[in-house]
Structure 1
Amino acid sequence: MTTAAAPLSAPAARARQLAGTGPLLRLALRRDRVLIPAWVLGLGLVVTGTGSSFEALYDTAARRAALAASMNGNGSMRALYGPVFGDSVGGLIAWRMAGFGAVLAAVMSLLIVVRHTREEEETGRQELLCAAMVGRRAPLTAALLTALTANTALAVVIAGGLAGSGRPAAGSLALGLAIGGTGMLFAALAAIAAQLTESARLAKGLTGAALGLAFALRAAGDTATADGSSPLTWISPIGWSQNLRAYAGERWWLVLLFLAATALAGSVAYALTARRDLGMSFLPARPGPAAAPRSLSGPFGLAWRLQRTALGGWTLGFVCAGGLFGGIAKGAADLVGGNERTREIFARMGGQQSLTDAFLATMAGMLGMVAALYAVGAVLRLHGEETAGRAEPVLAGAVGRLRWTAGHLALAYGGSAVILAFGGLALGVSYDLSAGDPGGRTGPVLAAALAQAPAVWTLTGLAVLVFGLLPRATPAVWALVGGCLTLGWVGPSLDFPRWAMDLSPYSHLPKLPGADATAAPFLWLLALSAVFTAAGLVGVRRRDLA
């Protein structure tokens, strides 16, 4: 005679759904034993190292006050960095790094969460793990705890480093919590995206789009007001990070806002994961036609099919960013006045030409640096296809390795040029319309954006090199790209040494529009990109797959 099993109590049912969280967390931390420390230490050192640079550049209270007044008085600079809430060295650190650090912490967090949720399902590894004693919510919980570990470590490094260098402890803790709290909120948003989509790439894209929207809202709000009070600023989590006001009368209640928003987003992710089957999503891919079109008869057609959505999204984002920053470029010259220090910053960021051209050159450089994220992501799609086992059936037919690789590289190199062209065109047209001079600067600004392509392609070639020769280290390419972004974003204004700036290919390009340009740096970077790509293709041809 059999007896029915007694129903589980509510606590026991919840415990069963979380079974296996500990082992999965240890596995995730082991897999990320290089990635997380690299992100935490790299970003932490950048934030803590800005204090000494500000002390050297603005060594008196009067100079710091003049810088704060100049920045707050210009909508263009507020759009880039936000308003200055305090003119102490700590206040300037918070102004410079609260938004920038929050963006990088968000990128770190979304990569961690998607890697340990949707990417595991997409490759089939999660199904093997869940065949053991693993609860339904354990993988998501382990991923969020991994992100929590990384963001907590980041907050501790930032707070400890700043306090140890003599900054007030309260402001140091506030800045660490602002950056770490933003990262954790986007980790929860990435968890939602992982439930909605069927692919890790689309989950990263959706979360990245949310991050881009948050930055754009914050920029638009700070352009309108100089005190961070715009409703657009308060819609954005990046605006929350800045409005916590580290070293300038901290608003500790904003920490509770981060906690509440993270808890809400996490609850939505848990509710979604309980209502879908493993490997499925709420936005499933549409079934394809019974017969493949002729465009899919070759490796380029397949690569285009896989990457066209990403290319379209990046292009739209660049058009929006170019239009936004082109519209505020007209007020760049009002920033300087008689402030020689601010003029020096503009010269390091955008060249020695007129201040408006220097601002446009800075924006073109930013488009170039961000374009590298698209290009490297397109290259790493090769790594994803290989590790997921989808490349092997393709290569088992008449498609050779070089043809398969070339299809994706065409999208990486050509697609980066496309998004630069659209971004530069939007930047130039928007500036001309705001300045009342249609067509006056569109051509030079478009050329300035396209001039960033050799630097983008150098990093693209480096990604191909690592993929071909050191496939297991391929994800580490993101750290190299992040280092170049950091050098380009904070290096000029903080007067980093020349040898450090020269590590980035972008520092070797002329500051266009307006500066004198020769063909030499473009040719050297193109040659370097070609060498990297050729060496990587040799590695792809000779090594074993997966």
Structure 2
Amino acid sequence: MTTGTAPAPTAAAAGWTPEPGPAGRAVTALAVRSVRRGAVLVTAVAAGMPALVAVQHRQLDQELAGASLAALAENPAIRTLFGPPVALDDPGGFTVWRTGTAIAVLVGVWAALAATRVTRGEEETGRWDLLLAGPSRLPAVLLRHLAVLLGASALVGVSAAAGLVLAGTATTGAVLFGALIGGTGMVGAALGALAAQLLAERRAAAGLAVGVLLAGLLARMVADGVPALGWLHWLSPFGLLGRSAPFAADRVLPLLVLAAAVAVLVAAAATVSARRDVGSGPWRRPGAVRPGARPLRSLPGLAARHTGRPVLGWGAAVVAYFLLIGLLATTMTDFLTENPRFAELAAQAGFAELGSVRGYVASLFSLLAVPVGAFVASRVAATAADEVAGRLTLLYSLPVRRIRWLATELTGVAVGAVALTGAAGLATWLGATWVGADLSAGAALAGVSTVLPVVAVCLGAAVAALAWAPGAVLPLGVLPAAGGYLLLVLADTLSWPGWVRGVSPFAHLAAVPAEPVDVPGLVGLLAVAAALTAGGLAGYRRRDLRG
């Protein structure tokens, strides 16, 4: 009898190799069904928005003189917010500068959230138990889902490139831009998959992945604002987009760095998945509460526990952004005062009175409704996910009516939304005070409070969706803010009829603190929000529980 060292497990034995045949195809089909709706929506936005801006550029470049473009390129606030303006005289270069970062953030965050949802989310709810009880192994299932997400990201990139080519831009720059957008989505997907393997909870994994992406965006802003820290561009997919400079330098090296980052993240996710048990993760989220602890003894305490951590995460991002807005207040207003043509064009797009500090912050405060609206919609979507996963079954088995719990949860979400808006106002005031801008704390808080009616409409839409379309809570909840803001900008830019513009909730908000509060508009939005919430509560009380 001889002894010897056992051979190392092969890739197939470790479950790295996706299973061929019907089982593998079924897993791939499952992944496609899980991401197709979001992928179609993101693809449409990535194709349409840059193409629209490129078409409009032909009108803009006749109105903007070369001296104004040079002043725009030299303005540090513009560089920090949008990246270095290059090739602004070219429709493609202007489009990349104006929409590149926004599209990249959208695609990256969507891919990260989709990756955590279809991997750790399905595993956490137990829907993968039966799947993994067969011949499929966890790493193989993960890689098949990742392959679908990477393919969807590539499709988004192709659509962005195709839209620019059809708009008449240079093919080389359009293809490079599309590749960078698709690569950013791939980084987001791989990052979300890795976070889903490291953390045992979907929410924590999603927060980690999105947090890393937003940190990369902040690194890009710092690198653009501080030339000595320009090397930070290489650590962020958003910075690599600027380094590549489509339609100007057309550098390929940043794209290769992006591809290498995707490969490293995918390999890391597969490695971690091969070394852990199903339902577990090597990183444990701190802050577990003992059974019977005070936060779990009452419905308000449970709601606060459920909402508190997300408020901190969203709050950190909101505070960082609006602190930057305050710090740039005097720089932006001075620039617009010296270049009135830019202020006129901004007014045509719905951003009036940008020449004053109060007008500047009022225009940007309207953007606050989008992240805060997304926050409230995501919390209601989390309640829907808890219902499907069975996490509310024990609670509803107690003498607790479902409407009572939902009302308590919504109260906590509303308090969190107010806290986020207040934090944004104070952050803007602190930044403006630091640079000597004329903005009081009261004016800043009054300005941010005007977006709360739009947030209330988002909350009402999410509650109505929870009752009547529980599978679409998040998109329907975000629609009044994100869709309404986009509708307002397009209506003002393209001179659409007033009744179309009036569909947007933002059309009924005043530019506070530059203007007095629009009381009728505020009351109307709150009435719509109340009707949606009441209808949602009634529908939720009557429908069957899912899961």
TM-based fold match above 0.5:
yes
Question: Aligned letter for 1:282?
Answer: P
Question: Aligned letter for 1:420?
Answer: T
Is the contact between residue 105 and residue 183 of structure 1 (CA under 8 Å) also seen in structure 2? yes
Question: Aligned letter for 1:373?
Answer: A
Return 112-121 or 228-237, whichever deviates more. 228-237
Please, what TM-score do these two structures have when normalized by structure 2? 0.91
Question: Aligned letter for 2:248?
Answer: A
Match of 1:28 in 2: 31
Is the contact between residue 195 and residue 273 of structure 1 (CA under 8 Å) also seen in structure 2? yes
- What is the alpha-carbon root mean square deviation over aligned residues? 2.6
Match of 1:160 in 2: 162
Whole-angstrom distance in 1 between the partners of 2:485 and 2:43: 14
- Do structure 1's residue 50 and structure 2's residue 53 form an aligned pair? yes
Match of 2:464 in 1: 465
- Per-residue CA deviation, residues 227-256 of structure 1 (Å, 9 max, x unaligned), is x98233343221112322111121112110
Match of 1:380 in 2: 381
Whole-angstrom distance in 2 between the partners of 1:109 and 1:42: 14
Q: How many angstroms does 1:280 deviate by?
A: 0.4
- Do structure 1's residue 183 and structure 2's residue 176 form an aligned pair? no
- Per-residue CA deviation, residues 139-177 of structure 1 (Å, 9 max, x unaligned), is 221221121121111111111121122111111111111
- The structure 2 residue matched to 1:135, chosen from 109, 134, 137, is 137
Q: How many angstroms does 1:486 deviate by?
A: 6.4
Q: How many angstroms does 1:9 deviate by?
A: 7.6
Match of 1:70 in 2: 71
Matched residue SS, 1:34: helix
Match of 1:452 in 2: 451
% identical aligned pairs: 29
Match of 2:517 in 1: 517
Is the contact between residue 353 and residue 515 of structure 1 (CA under 8 Å) also seen in structure 2? no
Whole-angstrom distance in 2 between the partners of 1:530 and 1:538: 12
Match of 2:479 in 1: 480
Matched residue SS, 2:272: helix
Whole-angstrom distance in 2 between the partners of 1:472 and 1:520: 34
Match of 2:44 in 1: 41
Match of 2:312 in 1: 312
Is the contact between residue 112 and residue 146 of structure 1 (CA under 8 Å) also seen in structure 2? no
- Per-residue CA deviation, residues 302-332 of structure 1 (Å, 9 max, x unaligned), is 2221221111222222222222221111101
- Per-residue CA deviation, residues 115-157 of structure 1 (Å, 9 max, x unaligned), is 1111011100111110011022122212211211211111111
Question: Aligned letter for 1:182?
Answer: T
Provide closer, same or farther for how the CA distance between residues 494 and 513 of structure 1 changes in structure 2, counting only shifts above 3 A: same
Provide closer, same or farther for how the CA distance between residues 288 and 114 of structure 1 changes in structure 2, counting only shifts above 3 A: closer
- Per-residue CA deviation, residues 396-420 of structure 1 (Å, 9 max, x unaligned), is 1111011111122112211111011
Provide closer, same or farther for how the CA distance between residues 77 and 515 of structure 1 changes in structure 2, counting only shifts above 3 A: farther
Question: Aligned letter for 2:59?
Answer: A
Q: How many angstroms does 1:209 deviate by?
A: 1.3
Q: How many angstroms does 1:393 deviate by?
A: 1.7
- Per-residue CA deviation, residues 44-64 of structure 1 (Å, 9 max, x unaligned), is 21222211222233336xx26
Is the contact between residue 108 and residue 185 of structure 2 (CA under 8 Å) also seen in structure 1? yes
Whole-angstrom distance in 1 between the partners of 2:469 and 2:262: 37
Question: Aligned letter for 2:460?
Answer: G
Provide closer, same or farther for how the CA distance between residues 464 and 448 of structure 1 changes in structure 2, counting only shifts above 3 A: same
Q: How many angstroms does 1:13 deviate by?
A: 3.1
Whole-angstrom distance in 2 between the partners of 1:195 and 1:291: 26
- Do structure 1's residue 90 and structure 2's residue 89 form an aligned pair? no
Provide closer, same or farther for how the CA distance between residues 256 and 306 of structure 1 changes in structure 2, counting only shifts above 3 A: same
Matches within 5 A, 1:129-278: 129-225=131-227, 230-278=230-278
Q: How many angstroms does 1:208 deviate by?
A: 1.6
Count residues in correspondence. Answer: 535
Match of 2:369 in 1: 368
Matched residue SS, 2:36: coil
Matched residue SS, 1:435: coil
Matched residue SS, 1:380: helix
Whole-angstrom distance in 1 between the partners of 2:79 and 2:226: 9
- Per-residue CA deviation, residues 413-472 of structure 1 (Å, 9 max, x unaligned), is 1111101101110111210121176xx522201210121111111111111111111113
Question: Aligned letter for 1:40?
Answer: T
- Per-residue CA deviation, residues 166-224 of structure 1 (Å, 9 max, x unaligned), is 11111111111111111111111111211222211111111121122122222222223
Whole-angstrom distance in 2 between the partners of 1:278 and 1:15: 13
Matched residue SS, 2:400: coil
Whole-angstrom distance in 2 between the partners of 1:337 and 1:164: 36
Higher RCO structure (Cα 8 Å, ≥6 apart): 1
Whole-angstrom distance in 1 between the partners of 2:65 and 2:164: 18
Matched residue SS, 2:62: coil
Whole-angstrom distance in 2 between the partners of 1:492 and 1:337: 26
Is the contact between residue 245 and residue 251 of structure 1 (CA under 8 Å) also seen in structure 2? yes
Whole-angstrom distance in 1 between the partners of 2:489 and 2:79: 15
Is the contact between residue 35 and residue 476 of structure 1 (CA under 8 Å) also seen in structure 2? no
Match of 1:334 in 2: 334
Matched residue SS, 2:435: helix
Return 288-297 or 231-240, whichever deviates more. 288-297
- The structure 1 residue matched to 2:114, chosen from 109, 112, 136, is 112
Matches within 5 A, 1:407-422: 407-422=408-423
Provide closer, same or farther for how the CA distance between residues 494 and 38 of structure 1 changes in structure 2, counting only shifts above 3 A: same
Provide closer, same or farther for how the CA distance between residues 244 and 485 of structure 1 changes in structure 2, counting only shifts above 3 A: farther
Matched residue SS, 1:472: helix
Please, what TM-score do these two structures have when normalized by structure 1? 0.91
Q: How many angstroms does 1:35 deviate by?
A: 2.2
Question: Aligned letter for 1:69?
Answer: A
